[in-house]
Every structure is written in C-alpha cells, then in structure tokens.
A = this chain, B = another copy of it.
Amino acid sequence: MENPSLTKPNTANTVELLAKERKGCSFSTQAMDNFINGTEWIKKRNTAIAIIRKNPEVFDLSQVYFMDRQEIIEKAIQIEANVAELLKDKKITQDEAIALFHFLDFGGPYFVHRAMFIPTLERQANEEQKKAFLEPARDYKIIGCYAQTEMGHGSNVRGIETTATFVEEDDTFEIHSPTLTSTKWWIGTLGIAATHACVMAQLIVKGKHYGLYPIIVPVRDLKTFKPFPGVNVGDIGPKMGFNNVDNGFVNFQKVKVSRFNVLQRYINISRTGEVSLLKDFDPRVTYSTMVFVRATIINTVGRELAKSVTIASRYTAVRKQGWTKGTDEVPVLDYDIVQYRLIPLVAKTFAMLGMSHEFYAQYELCINNIESGDFSLLKEMHAVSCGLKKWCSDTMIYGVDTCRHLCGGHGFSSFAGFSFSFNNLYPHIIWEGDNFVLAQQTARYLIKSSIDVSKPLGSKPADPTSLLLNRYTLENTMFSWKYKSVSQIANDMDLLLDLLAYRFSYFTHSLAKKIHIENQSWNDSTVEVQTLSTVYSEYMICMYFKRHINKLSSTDNIYSPIKNLYCITALSSLLRNTGELYSLGSAAGIDQNFISNLEDELMSAIKLSRSQLIPLVDSLGLPDEKLNSSLGRYDGKVYEDYMSRALMEPLNRKDSGTRIRTEQTTNLAANYDSDVSTLQVVKAARFDENIGESLINSTLVNVFNSQT
C-alpha cells in the first residue's frame, strides 16, 4: 500500500488552499457586500466591530464555550452594563446598540427592558405614568420586563388567568395568580434582573371583567433586589440555549399596587371604580406591529445562516478526504453531494438578505398607506410575513444543522461555532407564532383570496397575490414556459418565478375547492396548509430577491454570480418535493422528463457557484469575531486555532483531571499497581515530576503559537 503521508509530509495546507480559492474571484467582494447587506448595515457592523475590538475584555466572546450558565449570565450582564453606559454617554445610538447585540449573538438580561418594557410604556402610558416609569426606565433606574405568557398559556392569550381586581377601600388593584398554571413563565429579564414587571392581567372592577390590560407591578426592592411579599419570582432554569437571558417566572399572591399603575392610554378607572374605555385599539395596528417584528426576524435569521454557511464553506474547502482524483487528497467541497447540501443554503442566505431590502420597502409602503387610511396592502403583508417568518426560520435552523453535519466530527465540537448558535437560534421557529400555526395564517388569507377571484371585477382585491391567483386559475392554459427548453427556463429569472407563481396558485385553488366545494374541515386541511404556506413563501422569497437583483445592470460583475444564486434558490425550491411539480400536470408541460432535466440544471448551477464559493461567503462580511469558530477562520488556520482552544479547556489545567479521577475512584484507586505493567512496558520513558506542565510548554504548542 502506497501511503501519501509517508511519501511526503502532510502539512494540510489549509492556509494555501483557502488563498487559492480566493484567487479565481470574478467579482468585487466589496461591491457584493454593499449590495447584499446594504451600506447602512455595513456602517452599523463597523461600529460594532470597533466597539468589540476597543474593549475585548468585555466584548470578546471566545471564552463563551467554556462557560456554565451562571458565568454566561454574568458575562451577559457585564456586556449589558457596558452598553448602557455607552448609550447613556451617547457614544452609540440605540440602533447601533441593537446591531452590536445582534453582531455578538448574545442578547442579555436587559433585552426585554429595551425591546418591550420601554416601548409598551411609550405606547400605553399617559403623561404622568411616563414620568413615573418611562423616564427612570430609560435611565436604567428601574429595569422592567413584559409578563404576558403563563405556564399553562402560551400563544393563546385568551386563556390568561392572572387577575387584577380593583379594591375600592384602599384604591389599589390586587394582582393574583389563582393557579399554578397561571404563573407567569418564560418572562425574559425577570429571572434575576427586573425590578418591575408590566403584567398582562384580566382586569376586574366591581365584579365586571374588562379583558386583558397591562399593569406595572414592582417585583423586587430597588436597593436590596429582594422580592416583595407575595411575589414569588425566580429564574425558570436551564434551557437548550439562550442561557444568556434570565427567563423568569412570577406568581402573585394577592399583591396590591396603586390604581395609578394600570396603564391608562386605553382605559381609565376612577377613584370610585367608574371605568371608561378611552379608545379602541385598532387591531389592524397590532397586525402591522406583528408584521414589523416578523420582518426583523426574517432579516436576523438570514444573517445567522450567513455565519454557518461561511464556516461550512471555508472548512469544506480545506478539509481533504479521499483520493478520487489522483494522488493528492481532495477537499470535500469537490464532492457533488457536499455541494448539493451546502450551496443551495448559501444561495438561500443571499436570497434572504437580498429580498429583505425589498420586503422592508414594501412594508414601509404599507405603513404609509395605513397612515393615510388605506389598509388594502395590510392583509397580504400580514400573510406574507407569517409565511416568510416560517420559511426563513426553518431554512435557517435546519441550514445551521446541515452546515454542522457537513463539517463531520469536528462540527460537533463547540469550537466549530455551530452548536451554540443552533441552540440560541432555535426559538425562532417557536416564538412570534409557532411556525406550524403561522402557516395557517398565511393559508387562510390565500384561501380567502381564491374565493374572491370569482367576484365581479371592481369588487375583488387588487393586491399582488390576488392578481396572480386571478391569472393562474385551475382553468388556465397559458404558461409562459411551455414552449421553452428546460435549460432556457432554468436560466431565466422571470420564467422560474412564473413557475413558482403557478405552483402556489394551483395549490391555493385546489385546497380552496376542497374546503368550499367538498366541505373539507379546516382541521382536516392543516397538513396541506403547511405545503401551501411553503410554496407561497418560496415564490415571495424569489419575487422580492429578483426585485432587488433587478436594480443591478447585467454588465455589473456581481450580476452573474448573484443571478446564479437566484436560479439555485428557485430551482431547489421547485425540486424540494418533486411530487408538487408532478401534480401540476402535463397540461403545464411538466412530466418526468421535464423534472429530471430540471434536476440536472440545478446541479449545473450549483457547480457554477462552486468556483466562486469562498469569495461569495467572504462578501457576506462576517469577521472572525462574529464567527467565533476554529473551522471558519478567514486565514484558514483551522487546526492551529482548534488546538489552541482545546488547550484552554479547564480539565487540562494542572491536576484538574487528576483531582476528579482520584476523588471519584477512591475504591478503585487501590487497584492501581505500577508493578504490574508500567515498568515492563515503558522501558524508555524518562519520568519527570514536572511533566504536568508539558501540555502548555511543549514544542508543539510553541510551533503553532508562532504561526497564529
């Protein structure tokens, strides 16, 4: 057997391999960065990097993989306190603070204070209340949380059990948790940090129930931080991830607060218990807030997937395995199956980041219209935001997982950077509407729009989705792609989009028919509804992404690589479950041959992006501090970084392993008997009492330290 490692020294050459990948770059990575991230974000990103590099003692997170929960919380509060200082001293803006936290992937215990407590006061407190609560909150004199979710009641707010009952005698409201399940739960910032909670409770005045209203309840003393009497408050314990936030619980045993503490923008209770509802909250405004929150999630998860695809692309480009092409080992990125798993994820990352510029623009248009009384775009916006939040967060979380798996065994090490991210990002598929529930919101809108198609012209909605549903009814026989070759279709952004549009329209009308003509119940439709939401979102992703790409001239050197990423996104969406394509039928020109050719086109497009893959992920603009990964280092010093992190493992500190072993194996220890085997075996070993130090001081370590 000829063994390459003996015929020439294997030095892995990871640095050289990565450099070589960058040589063939056909476009300006800086222009691509500008185009895909936007100059505004790049400015914030640069501010964030500057803050981190200026004060690494606070902001460097390279040690986070060694931290236990308590240390993580301590680090998070340390960062929070420093950011609060920077904000107070006006050294950074609120937007930059948000960008910094996003950049660090490490929100802290004041997150809800900033993101929910303060905005709720801004919207729902009257002027006196703003003075009492909002001003000290802005100065971090009090720290607040938003206590809505209960142990037994998640997204279903109607089920909330906590009561706030007016007590006329002493002009107070009595806050009470009648059952164990009514304990407020998952409340961020409440575990250890909050002094005040904005509690959502069922308001009861003189025996009459008025529904859910927010009440400010002090929970911990401002000097001692001890909880007030009747307030059972604490941290809900360890979680899969997100341990940098102190999600807490609170259960109130008849705790009294002043009547003043009920936020009074929408309701007023007089000294004698007269209740006046000041104005109705327009539920459509709530919808637009939800749209905004989901738009933010969509953008966030795109940036997070960017991190994982950067790591996986760089590492698979330098990790060699197998000898399929001659004598030298091949980078695993040269295998079809690796490209097939990785490159569509890179494409979708670009799609998410690119489309979000246009999606935000559409959102702003929608809001402007609302402000002038025109709500016509809101329903579609809401439906699209639900679908996209599901699609983007699913794509991101399972994309991170795929990237981890693509890195083989080393992907399983914390130092790879995937697992900490995966665990922290996981809630995105659950919160702000569980993804399986959100699909129903999207589908309800589509089914309704399908019915509207049969209405007389003039009286039917004219939002973009409705127009498409009008064009692609089940009776339609006009297909723009029908007389084109598969290769023409696969390389034409418009034709691909038409196919995606037809697919979601077909699924919409088919399900609407089942529901409205064949009387299928909604519960019996919830499985199909998931597919409907997905095919609709895949259209929307591509539609907005194309709109962004269309701003480029086709002669721009970034046009061709980004257009190819669009084609990969569209093709891999169309081919996700080929059964969906088959069901569109041969009338639309779709048969086994068509599908099989489309699969070949997808693979060709993937191979086209392969040659530019490292420059493409470079242009996502994520520095090593953000990646926090041995495998994803920009300079390719993968193994040097990996080893130097391992050496920091606390178990490797002098005597650490020995202590554990000795303490825990007292009984067994009597067995160890060096006479039996050591002397016979280690003939040549020189004993050295100071060898415990060898780990850190060895030549090996010095060798690669000098390289770093």
Beta-carbon contact of B180 and A251 below 8 Å: no
Given contacts A3-B158, A412-B430, A414-B240, contact A643 B684 (CB under 8 A): no
Contact A431 B409, beta carbon cutoff 8 Å: yes
In the complex the two chains form, is B680's CB within 8 Å of A227's CB?
A: no
Contact, CB under 8 Å: A336 / B260: no
A235-B652 in contact (CB<8A): yes
Can you name 11 A-B pairs with beta carbons within 8 Å? A77-B660, A77-B661, A81-B668, A132-B680, A192-B651, A195-B672, A216-B681, A227-B694, A253-B700, A336-B527, A405-B430
Quick check: is A519 within 8 A (CB to CB) of the other chain?
Answer: no
Residues of B contacting A152 in the complex (Cβ-Cβ under 8 angstroms): 10, 12, 320, 639
In-complex Cβ contact of A10 among B5, B179, B430 (8 A): B179
Not counting A70-B656, A253-B699, A585-B592, a sample of 14 additional A-B residue pairs whose C-beta atoms are within 8 angstroms of each other reads A10-B182, A68-B69, A81-B664, A141-B673, A226-B689, A226-B691, A227-B692, A227-B694, A237-B649, A240-B413, A335-B523, A337-B526, A408-B430, A582-B592
With a cutoff of 8 Å between Cβ atoms, the chain B residues found around residue A595 in the complex are: 579
Which residues on the B side are within 8 Å of A85 (C-beta)?
Answer: 667-668
Q: Which residues of B contact A179 (CB under 8 A)?
A: 9-12
Inter-chain contact B695/A227, CB cutoff 8 Å: yes
| CA–CA, A431 and B256, complex, Å | 58
Give the nearest-CB partner of A173 in chain B.
Answer: B684
Does A436 interact with chain B (Cβ within 8 Å)? yes
B140–A228 touching, CB < 8 Å: no
Q: Please, which residue of chain B has its CB at the minimum distance from the CB of A108?
A: B664
1/0 contact string of A654-689 vs chain B (CB within 8 Å):
001110111111111001111011101111111111
Most buried by B among A237, A260, A579, A645: A237
- Are A141 and B234 closer than 8 Å at their CB atoms? no
With A154-B321, A321-B156, A527-B337 in contact, do A674 and B222 touch (Cβ < 8 Å)? yes
Q: How far is the CB of A625 from chain B (nearest CB, A)?
A: 19
B704 contacts A136, CB within 8 Å? no
Copies per assembly: 2
> Please, what's the 1-or-0 string for A1-22, where 1 marks a CB less than 8 Å from any CB in chain B?
1011110011110000000000
Give the CA-CA distance A592 to B360 in the complex, in Å. Answer: 39
Shortest Cβ gap from A589 to chain B (Å):
15
Given contacts A226-B692, A579-B578, A646-B236, contact A678 B5 (CB under 8 A): no
The residue from B78, B414, B434, B699 contacting A664, defined by CB atoms under 8 A apart: B78
Contact of A672 (CB < 8 Å), options: B9, B141, B667: B141
Q: CB distance A256 to B683 under 8 Å?
A: yes
Closest chain B residue to A643, Cβ basis: B180
Q: Does A232 contact B (CB under 8 A)?
A: yes
Tell me whether A673 and B136 are in contact (CB under 8 A): yes
For window 426-474 of A, CB contacts with B under 8 Å fall at: 426-427, 429-431, 434, 436
Set of chain B residues within 8 Å of A335, measured between Cβ atoms = 523, 526
Q: Tell whether A183 pairs with B643 under 8 Å between CB atoms, given A193-B661, A229-B686.
A: yes
Q: Is the CB of A255 within 8 A of B527?
A: no
Give the chain B neighbours of A10 by CB distance below 8 A.
152, 159, 161, 178-179, 181-182
Which residue of chain B lies nearest to A11 when distances are taken between CB atoms in the complex? B179
Judge whether A681 and B161 touch: CB under 8 Å: no
**A471 smallest CB distance to B (angstroms):** 23
Verify A682–B68 contact, CB threshold 8 A: no
Indicate if the CB atoms of B251 and A413 lie closer than 8 Å. Answer: no
Contact of A578 among B171, B181, B577 (CB under 8 A): B577
Question: How distant is A557 from chain B, measured CB to nearest CB, in Å?
Answer: 30
User: CB-CB contacts of A695-708 with B at 8 A, as 1s and 0s?
Assistant: 10011110110000
Q: Is the CB of A237 within 8 A of B65?
A: yes
The answer to whether B340 and A665 touch across the interface, beta carbons within 8 angstroms, is no
Complex-state Cα separation, A700 to B249, whole angstroms: 13
Taking the closest CB of chain B, its distance from the CB of A699, in whole angstroms, is 6
Assess whether A221 is interfacial by the CB under 8 Å rule. Answer: yes
Find residues 502-546 in chain A having any chain B CB closer than 8 Å to their own CB. 523-524, 526-527, 529-530
Q: Verify B249–A192 contact, CB threshold 8 A.
A: no
Interface flag for A642 (CB, 8 Å) = yes
A676 closest partner in B (C-beta): B136
A240 touches B523 (CB 8 A): no
Residues of B within 8 A of A529 (CB): 337
Residue A139 interfacial (CB < 8 Å):
yes
Among B12, B161, B236, the residue within 8 A (CB) of A181 is B12
Determine whether the beta carbon of B191 is less than 8 Å from that of A336: no
From B149, B159, B253, give the contact of A5 (CB < 8 A).
B159
Of B211, B238, B261, the residue contacting A65 (CB under 8 A) is B238
Q: Is A300 an interface residue (CB 8 A)?
A: no
Q: Is the CB of A665 within 8 A of B183?
A: no
- Contact partner of A202 (CB less than 8 A), chosen from B6, B341, B585, B684, is B6
- Asked if A136 and B639 sit within 8 Å, CB to CB, the answer is no
Asked if B646 and A160 make an inter-chain contact with CB atoms under 8 angstroms apart, the answer reads no
Question: Do A229 and B694 touch across chains, with their CB atoms under 8 A apart?
Answer: yes
Cβ–Cβ contact B228 & A691, under 8 A: yes
A23 CB, nearest partner CB in chain B, Å: 23
Within 8 A of B (CB), among A72-129: 73-74, 77-78, 80-81, 84-85
Interface positions, chain A 576-603, Cβ under 8 Å from B, are 577-583, 585, 592, 595, 603
